[in-house]
Amino acid sequence: MTPSESLPVEWSRFQRGALLAAIVAFVTCAFAGGRNPDQFFRSYLFAYLFWIGIAIGSAEVVMLQHLVGGQWGLALRRPLESGARTLWLMAILFVPLVFGVRHLYLWAQPQALAQSEELRRQSFYLNMPFFFVRVAFYFAIWLLFTYLLTKWSQDQDRQADPALGTKFQVLSGPGLVLFGLTVTFASVDWVMSLEPRWTSTIYGLIFIVGQVLSTLAFMIIVVMLLSRRKPLSDLLSAKVRLDLGNLMLTFVILWAYMAVSQLIIIWSGNLQDEIPWYLRRTAGMWGNVAIFLALFHFFIPFLLLLSRDVKRRGWLLGAVAGMILFVNLVDTFWLVEPGLLRNGFRIHALDLATVIGVGGLWVAFFIRCLKQYPLVPPNDPRWAESLIRAGHD
């Protein structure tokens, strides 16, 4: 078997379909959003956050697997690198939000600032120029690391160089630190500041864990689809599937742990600046969404992923991953929307249109990146290891 096989042809059809869906969705957005720009920006923010989560998460998991190793990292490496490279697309797709800042954030609206003493106290940090400087800074870091990770990966494809392994590790350690910090501050800027008086010191971590979880879910679906053929069919042994399932299980548990910790602390404290965040997210229909999240973001995937049979069977693992991905979308909605719509629960047509629009572009770009290089890095030392193992089977 050779690692040089690239993406099956039918993926080009996926790509065209995704692109088409994106065009249709964006035309819809243009019509509906033109009449209701406020709603457009709200929906767009939500859709953007969901998809950039997978892009950032991919870069993080690439670095994580460079640091800790393991066959699962080899199987996911190319899809993850492609996911990270979509950050270039996400940088361009940020442009609409530049125009949306005034529509979205109270702290960017002069009349709101004039009325509120508290908001003015926060404006040393929450002001438009500084906001844009920070956005530029985050993307500079994210793109720099994506660029290096991609470039070195290409170098490695061309020639096996043992020194590259060390180079990846030297980059990945500080890279994870920097990503942790930038993603935390981005989550504060983009989401937490929608409700400026509310703060939670664990918020950034919840965000990071959620992003990694949706990344894992998405990438597991991708490799399961690819695993019908070589080379991934060889790589996705029962043991690797078990590892992937356990990894997802770990992040499901971590997410629940962080979410419950925040709930216990804020619920018990019951302070006027903090508790409204939960009151908004549990009022009326939102309460049902919260129960749905507790069940499908934790209990059900947790119980399913405990079973070895589920983790070993590829299609079942893929199905659980699909469920987790969808629930993550709902979770993003639950985090973002109640802060914006202060009059109850609503799903607007634009919410769907933007998710499909941004998502279509994202998926098309992702497949384009995936096509360009062999599906398994041929000179990754772990590949040789997997050949030895396969020989023993």
Other Cβ atoms within 10 Å of 71 Cβ, number:
20
| Residue closest to 327 by CA, chosen among 365, 299, 358, 364 | 299
Considering the complex, state which of residue 91 and residue 212 has its C-beta at the smaller distance from other proteins: 212
Kindly state the smallest distance separating residue 66's Cβ from other proteins, in Å: 13
Selected from 6, 28, 109, 199, the binder of other proteins by CB under 8 A is 199
What is the rounded CA–CA span in Å between residue 19 and residue 37?
24
Kindly state the smallest distance separating residue 306's Cβ from other proteins, in Å: 9
Selected from 89, 205, 223, 353, the binder of other proteins by CB under 8 A is 205
Instruction: Judge contact between 128 and 134, C-beta under 8 A.
Output: no
Helices (H), 238-348: 238-269, 275-282, 285-293, 300-306, 308-312, 314-340
What is the rounded CA–CA span in Å between residue 147 and residue 87?
10
Instruction: Judge contact between 324 and 220, C-beta under 8 A.
Output: no
Instruction: Judge contact between 192 and 339, C-beta under 8 A.
Output: no
Mask of contacts with other proteins, 71-110, x by CB under 8 A?
Answer: ----------------------------------------
In the range 157-196, which residues lie near other proteins by CB under 8 A? 165, 173, 177, 180-181, 184, 188
Mask of contacts with other proteins, 254-293, x by CB under 8 A?
Answer: ---xx-xxxxxxxxxxxx-x--------------------
Considering the complex, state which of residue 165 and residue 359 has its C-beta at the smaller distance from other proteins: 165
Considering the complex, state which of residue 13 and residue 121 has its C-beta at the smaller distance from other proteins: 121
Six token digits for residue 36: 């209701």
Kindly state the smallest distance separating residue 215's Cβ from other proteins, in Å: 20
Six token digits for residue 189: 């800027």
Kindly state the smallest distance separating residue 274's Cβ from other proteins, in Å: 9
Considering the complex, state which of residue 6 and residue 237 has its C-beta at the smaller distance from other proteins: 237
Six token digits for residue 188: 């504060």
Kindly state the smallest distance separating residue 68's Cβ from other proteins, in Å: 9
What is the rounded CA–CA span in Å between residue 309 and residue 305?
9
Is residue 204 a contact point for other proteins (CB under 8 A)? yes
Mask of contacts with other proteins, 4-33, x by CB under 8 A?
Answer: ------------------------------
Selected from 159, 201, 272, 343, the binder of other proteins by CB under 8 A is 201
Kindly state the smallest distance separating residue 102's Cβ from other proteins, in Å: 21
DSSP characters for 69-125? --HHHHHHHHHHHHHHHTHHHHHHHTHHHHHHHHHH-GGG-HHHHHH-HHHHHHTTT
Site stretch for other proteins (CB under 8 A), options 52-60, 76-84, 200-208, 338-346: 200-208
Kindly state the smallest distance separating residue 264's Cβ from other proteins, in Å: 5
Kindly state the smallest distance separating residue 22's Cβ from other proteins, in Å: 36
Instruction: Judge contact between 97 and 45, C-beta under 8 A.
Output: yes
Selected from 197, 230, 281, 348, the binder of other proteins by CB under 8 A is 197
What is the rounded CA–CA span in Å between residue 188 and residue 207?
10
| Residue closest to 350 by CA, chosen among 31, 100, 99, 78 | 31
In the range 112-151, which residues lie near other proteins by CB under 8 A? 118, 121-122, 125
Kindly state the smallest distance separating residue 125's Cβ from other proteins, in Å: 6
Instruction: Judge contact between 18 and 360, C-beta under 8 A.
Output: yes
Site stretch for other proteins (CB under 8 A), options 11-19, 147-155, 253-261, 315-323: 253-261
For residue 273, report the phi and psi dihedrals to the nearest 5 degrees.
-80, -20
Selected from 109, 200, 230, 348, the binder of other proteins by CB under 8 A is 200
Which residues lie below 8 Å from residue 191, measured CB to CB, with a gap of 6+?
Answer: 49, 203, 207, 335, 336, 339
* Site residues, other proteins (CB under 8 A): 118, 121-122, 125, 165, 173, 177, 180-181, 184, 188, 197, 199-205, 253, 257-258, 260-271, 273, 381-382, 384-385, 388-389, 392
